[in-house]
Amino acid sequence: MIRYLKVIILFSCIIQTLSAQQKTFKSGEKVVFDAYYNWGFIWLNAGQAMFTASDTIFNGKDAYQMKATGVTYNGYDYLFKVRDTLISVISKDSLQPLWFTRKTNEGSYSAEITYNFDHESNLVNGTKKRKGKTEYASYILPENTKDIVSVIYYLREVDFTGMKENDRILFNMVVDNEMWELYVRYLGKKVIKLKSGRRFRCIVLAPLLLEGSVFSGGEGMKIFVTDDRNRLPVYIESKVLVGKVKASLISYENLKYPLSSEVY
């Protein structure tokens, strides 16, 4: 299920200028999503994902620890069992990733992946442990490179003012010990109704997905983020290899700003 939700983080900002001071979130923020799977005519509430932000120290400097967890409910593990934990440590000043780890169990696939981002040497050093084997990789660190958790917070700083419909936003991302060039397409604005019945004015984005065991690749996903100062992801819908998935916001704590985009 975290695969269905992690693509929330496929935003970038090379078109826009970002402030060195974060302004859309604060330490203590907690956001929870329900995930739904479409099987024929039936929508199943199959699992949950949670994202939290907290303060930490990394190499003697102030940083944020961003944690994402995803699980399927026990009753739906027969469809596709997920038990994932992802942690990203990012700089408080620049929101650049410093360190990342992912412990994943998705169906029959399990692995542990770690990245160290060396911004002084412009290198990303990756380690992947799977089936008793360890793989190492090192990459040149292009500008605006993120991992799949840090980018959601860094890119909530994007100012979409002035962007035109179908504008593409380019970026680099390290995924499964490989470097990828990806993009997000800006699709304009729309009011979306969540499973809870709440309605929000949103910015609509379509990320380029990587082909894999869940997604077929391409732009078969739409992501809705609040059109307010939080830029909070609240809803996702996507085609998958078999059926469709949706993720809907169910709760949040310690947002920095009120959700002024809500429509009553």
Q: Which two tokens stand for residue 248?
A: 């809907």
Any idea which residue has 């090192």 for tokens? 138
Per-residue model confidence (pLDDT) at position 219:
55
Q: Which residue has the higher pLDDT, 58 or 145?
A: 58
Per-residue model confidence (pLDDT) at position 21:
46
Query: What is the spatial distance between Cα 205 and Cα 188, in angstroms, rounded to a whole number?
Result: 8
Let me know if residue 62 belongs to a domain: yes
Q: How confident is the model at residue 207 (pLDDT cuts 50, 70, 90)?
A: confident
User: Which of 99, 161, 162, 148 has its CA nearest to residue 127?
Assistant: 99
**How crowded is residue 211: how many other Cβ atoms within 10 Å of its Cβ?**
10
User: Which of 159, 166, 175 has its CA nearest to residue 206?
Assistant: 166
Q: Is the pLDDT of residue 12 over 50?
A: no
| Number of residues written out for the chain | 264
C-alpha R_g of the chain: 18
Q: Among 59-73, 135-149, 189-203, 231-245, whose mean pLDDT is lowest? A: 231-245
The whole-number average pLDDT for the span 8-35 is 64
Let me know if residue 264 belongs to a domain: no
pLDDT in tens, 100-123: 999 988 888 899 999 999 999 999
Any idea which residue has 């040497």 for tokens? 121
User: Which of 146, 150, 154, 26 has its CA nearest to residue 88?
Assistant: 150
- Beta strands 145-146 and 168-175 are parallel
Amino acid at 165: E
pLDDT more than 90, % of the chain? 47
Mean of per-residue pLDDT scores for the chain: 83
Per-residue model confidence (pLDDT) at position 209:
60
Let me know if residue 51 belongs to a domain: yes
Q: What are phi and psi of 216, to 5 degrees?
A: -90, -5
Let me know if residue 261 belongs to a domain: no
User: Which of 2, 4, 8, 12 has its CA nearest to residue 182?
Assistant: 12
pLDDT in tens, 132-178: 999 999 989 888 888 889 878 876 887 888 889 998 877 788 887 78
Query: What is the spatial distance between Cα 202 and Cα 183, in angstroms, rounded to a whole number?
Result: 19
Per-residue model confidence (pLDDT) at position 184:
80
**CATH number of the CATH domain containing 169:** 2.40.360
Q: How confident is the model at residue 240 (pLDDT cuts 50, 70, 90)?
A: low
Under 8 Å CB-to-CB from 57, ≥6 apart: which residues?
63
Query: What is the spatial distance between Cα 135 and Cα 176, in angstroms, rounded to a whole number?
Result: 11
Let me know if residue 41 belongs to a domain: yes
Per-residue model confidence (pLDDT) at position 16:
37
Let me know if residue 16 belongs to a domain: yes
pLDDT in tens, 223-234: 899 999 999 999
Q: Is the pLDDT of residue 245 over 90?
A: no
Q: What are phi and psi of 236, to 5 degrees?
A: -140, 140
Q: Which two tokens stand for residue 212?
A: 């894999």
Residue 174 CB-half CA count within 13 A: 32
Any idea which residue has 């429509």 for tokens? 263
Query: What is the spatial distance between Cα 93 and Cα 22, in angstroms, rounded to a whole number?
Result: 8
Which residue range is the domain that position 72 belongs to?
2-255
Q: How confident is the model at residue 212 (pLDDT cuts 50, 70, 90)?
A: very low
Let me know if residue 260 belongs to a domain: no
Query: What is the spatial distance between Cα 135 and Cα 43, in angstroms, rounded to a whole number?
Result: 39
Number of domains into which the chain is organized: 1
